[in-house]
Amino acid sequence: METTKMSSSEYIESVIKKVIARDPHQPEFHQAVKEVYESIQPALDANPEFQEASILERLAEPERVIQFRVPWYDDQGKLQVNRGFRVQFNSAIGPYKGGIRFHPSVYLGIIKFLGFEQIFKNSLTGLPMGGGKGGSDFDPKGKSDAEVMRFTQSFMLELNRHIGQFTDVPAGDIGVGGREIGFMYGMYRKIKNVHGTGVLTGKGLNYGGSLIRPEATGYGTVYFVQEALKDLKNDSFSGKTVGISGSGNVAQFATEKVLDLGGKVVTLSDSGGYIYDPDGIDRDKLAWVMDLKNVRRGRISEYATHFGGPVEYHAGRRPWEKQMDIALPSATQNEVNGAEAQTLIDNGVIAVGEGANMPSEPEAVDKFLAAGVIFGAAKAANAGGVATSGLEMSQNSLRLGWTREEVDQRLHGIMVNIYKMAAGAAKTYDTNLLGGVNIAGFLKVANSMLEQGHWA
């Protein structure tokens, strides 16, 4: 008996329903799947073989999920236990690649959403990297260096079994910076008795790291938006007022690159609230923020106390209520809601570049697109970090290090190419830039899976 083939839209809807039914308590993962699948229908219409090979079902199911306990002793000698995760999502185009996040909000749904996004982000870089993500509900905030070391060593005691330069290459994310990567790499080396520098990225320069890696995500976000401004509006960052959320690695270096390009950054934030500096965050102020966050590990509210004058601090609020020409949400997922998006639009925002992973809620994305705002989706706009991780892997394999200028030039070229790929796919499939981003990332992975058979 013949079965009636579903239309592409029916197929997409049926897969989304299955994903939700299978894991009903993972809303962030559902959101990520919907955002991609609902925008790639033109590619499915043009390639019916994807439905026949159940590509969407296979993409939405990780190849492997690893969950483990992480016991560690605090400074009082009390044994604590956290959960660790590694989701190895898709390896069709290369070894799993994606960061490790340490934050109390981490659970399997968060890691799956991040790993799913990583598949397409890595595809867009043009480098041979599959998608994965890991993390723990451990909170490094307020912990001593010794406590962080003991935790990360315990974390690596299990994680080492599942990673390798040709298998899975983790990096940093929220709560995991150079300190944590260093402790994890030291433990990996001790366990394995090898100097496998290609097994982690974001390493220190003294033991296999790459220049520009700390700057890469922030720089890359600005490079992507700059290219979009040039192509779509014949414009640039020069003379623009820019609002940035977050005050960690991505926000700091996005601020630095905006300054390089002649823009004025007026906001930064953390989990406590945001500062607004109408005079702009210049290089001296940025250096102070870097010391505050990276060395003293303080709160952004201290900026207002230190600099005073016209600086405002708004506790428990987000910066999107202020006027800005360009918004770069660079803190965490779902930090821009529909009402905030409307406020940005009413205040004249012309471009949004997502420095964080999925920082805009679906309603916010819809509003930006409807208003004609340039929208740089995270999997494209913040791909600079993983792109430079890929460049770090290349340098490790070659047993050499490139200069700062060489790495920055390659990063800029990758970000420009990502924009051109997305814009080209949008034109080919008659869709918007968001659709172009998702289609461009999807096609490479889907075709690789088809070519490798149903196990891929």
* Lookup: tokens for 234: 């014949």
The span from the CA of 203 to the CA of 402, in Å, is 15
Q: Which of 448, 446, 451, 440 is nearest to 54 (CA)?
A: 446
- Give alpha helix (H) positions in 23-94: 27-37, 41-46, 49-52, 55-59
Is 133 among the catalytic positions?
yes
Q: Are 206 and 317 in contact (CB under 8 A)?
A: no
Which is catalytic among the residues 97, 112, 133, 264? 133
What kind and span of H or E run contains 361?
none
The span from the CA of 356 to the CA of 335, in Å, is 9
Amino acid at the residue 60: A
* Lookup: tokens for 56: 């969407």
* Lookup: tokens for 222: 């600005």
The span from the CA of 156 to the CA of 168, in Å, is 13
Beta bridge partners, 265, equal: 242
Residue 371 DSSP symbol: T
Give DSSP secondary structure letters for 298-320.
--THHHHHHH-TT-EEEET--GG
Active site residues: 133
